[in-house]
Structure 1
Amino acid sequence: MARKSKKIAFCFGEKHKAYIRRCAENTFNFAEGAVRAGKTVDNVFAFAHELKTTPDKIHLATGSTMANAKLNIGDANGFGLEYIFRGQCHWGKYKDNEALFIKGPSTSQQLRIVLFSGGAKADSYKKIRGNSYGMWIATEINLHHPDTICEAFNRQLAAQRRKVFWDLNPDNPNAPIYTEYIDRYRQRAEIGELLGGCNYEHFTIDDNVTISDQRKAEIKSQYDPQSIWYMRDILGRRMVAEGLIYRQFAESCERKDGFFFTQDKPKDIMEINVGVDFGGGGSAHAFVATAITRGYQKAVVLSSQRIDCKNRDIDPDQLGKLFIDFCLAIINQFGYITNVYCDNAEQTLIAGLRTSARKSGLSWLRITDALKTTINDRINLTTRLMAMGRLQLMEGYCDTLAGAFRSAVWNPKNLTENERLDDGTSDIDSLDAFEYTVERSISRFIRYE
C-alpha cells in the first residue's frame, strides 16, 4: 500500500475548481462532457472531501461493472479514493460486496465504508439492496440500468447528508438519463422546486489542464472536425453516433451551414401545409408548418412545436387552443395555410380541431387526414431533399424538428429491413408531423430532380 506521506499531484483548472466548490452546496452533482475531460477525478475529489465529515457510515460507488467502478473511482490513475486516503484504508468485503474501508486522521478516526458495485445489468440493483447509503458516486451513469438508479435513490432516503455525484460522456440527446433525471433536475432547480440544489457542468478536453496542448492537438488530429465523433468525443456534445438516419443533417446542423434559413420569408412560396401528429400515452403532440416553393424546388420548414404528454394530460380543448395559436402564428407571418394534415388514427381529435378552428373564426382551414404513406418512402424523400440542399429550416423556429432529425436512428434489432426506431429515445412525433406536410408531393419533388 502507498505511504501516507506521498502527495497526489492534483491540478485543476478554474472551471473544475468552481464545479468542485459547488459540490459542497448541492445535493445533485452532474459532470458531463468529452473524453479525458477530468470529470471523474472532480467527483472523486469532491466525494472524498465529504467523506471526511459526513455523519453517514456506508456509501455507494457504482460503474457499469464493479471492475469499472473500482478502476475509475477507487484507482483513477492514481487520483482515486485509495490514494486520497492512503495509509488510512484497505480493501475488503462488506456483506459479500467489494468495499473500501476508510478510518484515520482524515475521518477523525470514524469508520467510512464505500461499497463498490456494477449497475448495467437488469438485476444489478439486487447487489445494493439491504443497506442505507449516505452518498452515491457513479461513473458512466448513462450505462446504468434504470432499476439500479431507482434502487440507489431509494437506498439514500435515510441519509443524514444525502449527496449524489454522477459523471457521463455525452449520449443520445433524448436518453432517459437526461429526460428523467439530469435535465429534469436542472429545470426544477432553476425554478426552485428541487430541494438541495443541482450542480451541473459541461467539460471538454480543453478544460483539462493536465493534458499538454501538444497532446490535445494530437488527440484532435485523429478526428474529422466535422464528424459526429469529433463533436461527441472532443466537444462533448450530445449526439447520436450509431445508425443515424439523417447523418448529413446531424453533422451539418452543429455548424449551421446549409440547412438553416435565416431570411424573414422564403421566396416563391406556393403552398403552406401544417402537419399534426397526436400524442398521448407517454408520447407527444406535434405541429409542423412547411412551405413548398414554386415548382416543388424546396421544402422550407417554417415552425415546429412539440407538446409533451408524459407528465401531463392535454384535454381536447387545450389541444385545440394550442393548435389555433400555432396556426395563427403562421397566418400572421405568412398570410395563409393551404392544408392541415392530421394523423388519421385519431378522428375524434381531428373533429375537435375543426371545432376549435370554427370557434376561432378559422373555419376556412382545410383540416383533413394525412396520407400516411409508408415510413421509408417518407424517409427516402427527406434524405433526398437534404442531399440536394432542397430542405431548409427557419432558424430559431424549428428546434424540436431539428432535434428530431439529429436523433432519428434505425432499429438495430431489425437486421432484415430498415425500420425507424420508435422506443421513446427519438422524437418520432415531430418527424411524422413534418412528413405529413410533404408526403402527398413525393412524386412532384422527385420529378423536379
Structure 2
Amino acid sequence: MNKPAPLSQRQYEYMQRCMISWFNVAEGGKRGGKNVLATLIFCSLLETHKNKIHLVGGVSNATAKLNILDCDGYGLLNYFEGRCREGKYKDRDCVYVQTKTGEKVVLVSGGGKDGDEKLIKGNTYGMAYITEANECHQKFLKEVFDRTLSSSDRKIFHDLNPKEEEHWYYTEILKFHEEQQDKNPNYGYNYGHFTLVDNMSMTDEQIRKVLSTYQKGTVWYRRDIKGERAVAEGIIFRKFAENNEPYLYDEDTDPLFERDIKGKLLHRPSKITMGIDFGGNGSMTTFVLKLYFHGYHDLRTAEETNLELSPDIDAEAICSKFIEFFKYCQEKYGFIEWVFPDSASTTMINSLRSAARKAGLPYRNIKGCRKNEVSDRPRTYDMLMNTGRWKINRNCTKLRSAIGKLKWDPDHPGIPEDKNIGNCNDWWDAENYTILDFIEYVDLDRR
C-alpha cells in the first residue's frame, strides 16, 4: 500500500471538520492534493459506515475512476489493497470493499450529461464523493443530494478547480449552504481551500517546475496556482499581442530547420498535421500546418494559407486550394500524417477525400478533428507559449495577427469571443484543429 504524504495544517483541519459535517467541499488550485485528501477521508469513513451502498462520481465514469479509484496511486484501490475487487452491481460499475464492518459496494458513475442522473436512481447512498463537481450536470448533483437523504450518516464530498465567480455551481449550490452555515454554525457545511503549497509530496524543485509553465497574472495562474475564482476578460494572449517576437521563428536561424544539400530537413518531424476551418457566410476558409519535433515537446506552426471571403462554401475552390497547399507542404517538410478539417462539415470532408484520391494523394488520413472543451484550448496554448514549446513561422502574418486579437467572451467567461473580427476565429480554429487529437499528450509533455 502506498502511503500519502503528511497533511498540511489546512488539510488536517479540513479533515477534522469532515467528521462532523455532512457536506464537504474542497476547492483550490491544481496539484493541491484535493483528490488524495478527499479519497483518504472517504475511505477512512467507509470502514465503519453502517450503509452498504455508496457512490463515487465525476464528469465521466473514466474521470471518477482516474481521480478517486486510482488517484495517482493513492486512491480507493490503494487504500483497500487486498480487500477490494472491481465488478458490477445491477449492471453498474462498482468496487466491492471488505471493511471492518462488512462488505460495502461503491458504485462508479459519470455525471456530466443531462440524463446521467438516471444512472444513480433506485439506491440510497450512505456517502457520495463527486470529483470535479462543477463540471458535472446540475441534475446529477441534485440527484446525489436526494439519494443520500436517508443515509445513517450522510456524507457528501465535492472537489473542484475554480471557475468564474458567477458560475452556476457557486450561485445555485454553494451559496445556499454557505447562507445556512452562517445562520446555524451546526448546519454541517464544511469548505476547504487548497493550493500546491498544501501538497506535502511536492519538492521545491517540482513546485518551481509547475510554476514555470504559467504566466503570472493570467486567468489560469489565478485559478490553477492561486486557486482563485477568476473571471476571464479582455485580450486572451496579452503578452503575445504586445510583443510576439519571442514566439516566432525563422527557418534560416532555427536549428530544427537545418537542411541537407538536397534541401531535406536534417531533423525529421515526429509528426506533421494540417488543420482546416471551412468558410462561407462571412467566414474565411483557413489552412494551417503544424510540425511536431521531439515527440510533443517542440511544436512549430510552419505554414498558413486561405481562400478569400465568399458568401457560400465553394467546395471546388476549397478542394483546389487544399491540393495545392498539401503538395507544397509535403514537398517542403515531408509526409503529412493527418489532415484535420472542422468535424461539423462531413460533406466537405468527403469532398476533400475525393479530391485527394483523384490527385493521387493520401485520403484516408483526412478526418474530422476531435472536439474538446473550447475553454481548454487557450489554456493549452498559454502553457505552450510560456514554456517556449510552440513557435510560429514569422511568415504566418495572418495567424499572428489573429492570435493577438483574440478576446474573451464577456457573456461566456472562459471561452474566446466569437465575433470573428478580422477573421481571427477562423485562424484560431484552424490552428487548434492541428492539435486537438493529441492535446492530452501535448499537455502531459512538460519537460
Shorter-normalised TM range: 0.5 to 0.7
The corresponding residue for 1:297 is: none
The structural deviation recorded for 1:97 is: 0.8
Matches of 1:81 and 1:88 in 2, distance apart?
A: 10
Matches of 2:79 and 2:114 in 1, distance apart?
A: 32
Decide which of 206, 209, 212 is 2:197's aligned counterpart. Answer: 206
Matches of 1:59 and 1:207 in 2, distance apart?
A: 28
Matches of 2:227 and 2:146 in 1, distance apart?
A: 30
The corresponding residue for 1:374 is: none
Matches of 2:412 and 2:13 in 1, distance apart?
A: 40
The corresponding residue for 2:111 is: 119
- The 5 A counterparts of 1:35-434 are 35-103=30-98, 106-108=99-101, 110-192=102-184, 196-241=187-232, 244-245=233-234, 408-409=410-411, 415=418
Report the residue type matching 2:120 in the other structure: I
Q: Is 1:28–1:196's contact at 8 Å kept on the other side of the alignment?
A: no
Matches of 2:225 and 2:416 in 1, distance apart?
A: 29
Q: Is 2:57–2:110's contact at 8 Å kept on the other side of the alignment?
A: yes
What are the superposed Cα offsets for residues 244-300 of structure 1, whole Å, 9 maximum, x if unpaired? 358799xxxxxxxxxxxxxxxxxxxxxxxxxxxxxxxxxxxxxxxxxxxxxxxxxxx
Report the residue type matching 2:100 in the other structure: T
Matches of 1:174 and 1:247 in 2, distance apart?
A: 19
Matches of 2:34 and 2:138 in 1, distance apart?
A: 22
Q: Is 1:239–1:407's contact at 8 Å kept on the other side of the alignment?
A: no
Q: Is 1:63–1:144's contact at 8 Å kept on the other side of the alignment?
A: yes
Structure 1 residue runs without a partner (length 5+): 1-5, 250-405, 419-449
Matches of 2:144 and 2:4 in 1, distance apart?
A: 32
Matches of 2:92 and 2:67 in 1, distance apart?
A: 17
Matches of 1:107 and 1:38 in 2, distance apart?
A: 26
Cα distance change of structure 1 residues 410 and 29 upon mapping to structure 2, 3 Å threshold: closer
Matches of 1:207 and 1:413 in 2, distance apart?
A: 32
Matches of 1:238 and 1:227 in 2, distance apart?
A: 12
Cα distance change of structure 1 residues 149 and 410 upon mapping to structure 2, 3 Å threshold: closer
Matches of 2:222 and 2:158 in 1, distance apart?
A: 21
Structure 2 residue runs without a partner (length 5+): 239-407, 422-447
Query: Equivalent residue of 1:92, what SS?
Result: strand
- RMSD over aligned Cα, in angstroms? 2.4
Matches of 1:39 and 1:134 in 2, distance apart?
A: 21
Decide which of 18, 30, 34 is 2:29's aligned counterpart. Answer: 34
Q: TM-score, normalised by structure 2?
A: 0.53
The corresponding residue for 2:16 is: 21
The structural deviation recorded for 1:92 is: 0.4
What are the superposed Cα offsets for residues 118-173 of structure 1, whole Å, 9 maximum, x if unpaired? 00011111111111111110100000001101111111122111111100000121
Q: TM-score, normalised by structure 1?
A: 0.53
What are the superposed Cα offsets for residues 318-368 of structure 1, whole Å, 9 maximum, x if unpaired? xxxxxxxxxxxxxxxxxxxxxxxxxxxxxxxxxxxxxxxxxxxxxxxxxxx
Query: Equivalent residue of 2:7, what SS?
Result: coil
Q: Is 1:64–1:143's contact at 8 Å kept on the other side of the alignment?
A: yes
Cα distance change of structure 1 residues 55 and 233 upon mapping to structure 2, 3 Å threshold: same
Matches of 2:154 and 2:409 in 1, distance apart?
A: 34
Query: Equivalent residue of 1:11, what SS?
Result: coil
Report the residue type matching 1:217 in the other structure: R
What are the superposed Cα offsets for residues 359-391 of structure 1, whole Å, 9 maximum, x if unpaired? xxxxxxxxxxxxxxxxxxxxxxxxxxxxxxxxx
Query: Equivalent residue of 2:50, what SS?
Result: coil
Query: Equivalent residue of 1:240, what SS?
Result: coil
Q: Is 1:10–1:79's contact at 8 Å kept on the other side of the alignment?
A: no
Runs of 4+ in 1 over 6 A off after TM superposition: 246-249, 411-414
The structural deviation recorded for 1:10 is: 3.6
Query: Equivalent residue of 1:62, what SS?
Result: strand
The structural deviation recorded for 1:11 is: 2.3
Matches of 1:172 and 1:44 in 2, distance apart?
A: 26
The structural deviation recorded for 1:410 is: 5.0
Q: Is 2:18–2:190's contact at 8 Å kept on the other side of the alignment?
A: yes
Matches of 2:170 and 2:183 in 1, distance apart?
A: 18
Name the count of aligned residue pairs: 251
